[in-house]
Amino acid sequence: MIFGMVFLVSIPVFVCLIHLLKVMRGVQKIYELSPAQHQGKSGTVSMGGIGIVLGILGVSVGLNLTSRPVGFCLAALVGFAAIGLLDDILSIKRDQNLGLKARHKFLIQTVIGWVAVAGFHFGIHSLEWWEFALYWLLFNGVSNATNLTDGLDGLLGGLSVITLTGFAVLFHAMGMGTMTQLMLGCISILAGFLVFNLNPARVFMGDTGSLALGAFFVAVSMVLGNPWVLLGFGGVYLIETVSVILQVGSFKLTGKRVFKMAPLHHHFELSGMTEWQVVALFWSVGVGLMGVTVWIFYWIG
């Protein structure tokens, strides 16, 4: 019941945020090499991730979720949201789809990722050396993967709900009620965001939201004590990232492209599918991977 109320309250909050961002001219500049049908989206309000992050923080305070693991997850969320916000602001200021330079973004992500893992190691649960290194890499990898996935209306928002649902099931099964509540609160906020982000979107989450969500997923997997669930819960993000790696690698080595365009969702668009069809397909794959992962780690593990 309470999470339904969170969803309902989030809707007028996003309405106000969208209006405020319009007044502040926080609008998206579409990448010039994106599919032609995307160019009409230029001018859509961006940085909706601000509402997602503030909403999650608000739910945590409202439900009095004050444990160290919750604080750690929220700190990772805010830290990477700050990187995304800086990237979004620079992009808007320059009036082009280019904010932070890739090397600068990577460096900041690396530093904040290291701080996050070190904080977990010394403040919550000690890690083996390989776990420390793995999670450090994952903060960079997963946040960039969710950033790549955020290319169609509702795509990352819906997939994030699916990812968080999987985590909620596992936390509930482990008797971790506080983390379960956090997951449900996040789902409620994202559901409110999706009201305005589904095609045709009135607001994009921007890097503020996409980088923050990726880092949040890694932090949550650390609290769960199992990074491998990200292979299933984040399977679509992984597929999207691999498609980019294959595309770039193939073009550099052979001069030929594997896909019509990368990330993979653009390939399906250029193959004749509508944006809604691509999003529905990717959501379906996400649900399937999440279900299999829950079955493996819940029923078997």
Instruction: Give me the pLDDT at residue 233, please.
Output: 97
Mean predicted confidence (pLDDT) in 1-24: 90
Instruction: Give me the pLDDT at residue 212, please.
Output: 98
Instruction: Give me the pLDDT at residue 100, please.
Output: 83
Instruction: Give me the pLDDT at residue 225, please.
Output: 94
pLDDT digits (tens, 9 = 90+) for 219-254: 999 999 999 999 999 999 999 999 999 999 998 999
DSSP per residue, 107-163? HHHHHHHHHHHHHHHHHT----HHHHHHHHHHHHHHHHHHHHHTTSTTHHHHHHHHH
Q: Which of 72, 146, 84, 134 shows the shortest CA–CA distance to 109?
A: 84
Token pair 């509402």 in the structure block, residue: 51
Q: Provide the percentage of residues in the chain whose pLDDT is more than 90.
A: 80
Query: How far is it, in rounded angstroms, from Cα 62 to Cα 103?
Result: 38
Tell me the pTM: 0.95
**Is the pLDDT confidence value at 40 over 70?**
no
Instruction: Give me the pLDDT at residue 288, please.
Output: 97
Q: Which of 278, 156, 251 shows the shortest CA–CA distance to 209?
A: 156
Length of the chain: 301
How sure is the predictor about 275, in pLDDT bands with cuts at 50, 70 and 90? very high
Q: What are the angstrom distances between the C-alpha of 107 and each of 32, 131, 244, 248, 249?
A: 26, 20, 21, 21, 23
Average pLDDT value for the chain: 92
Task: Quote the tokens at residue 72.
Answer: 């750690």
**Is the pLDDT confidence value at 44 over 90?**
no
**Is the pLDDT confidence value at 42 over 80?**
no
pLDDT digits (tens, 9 = 90+) for 65-108: 989 999 999 999 999 999 999 999 988 887 666 668 889 999 99
Q: What single-letter amino acid sits at 220? A: V
Contact 70, 137 (CB under 8 A): no
Instruction: Give me the pLDDT at residue 3, please.
Output: 87
Query: How far is it, in rounded angstroms, from Cα 294 to Cα 301?
Result: 9
Q: Provide the percentage of residues in the chain whose pLDDT is more than 70.
A: 92
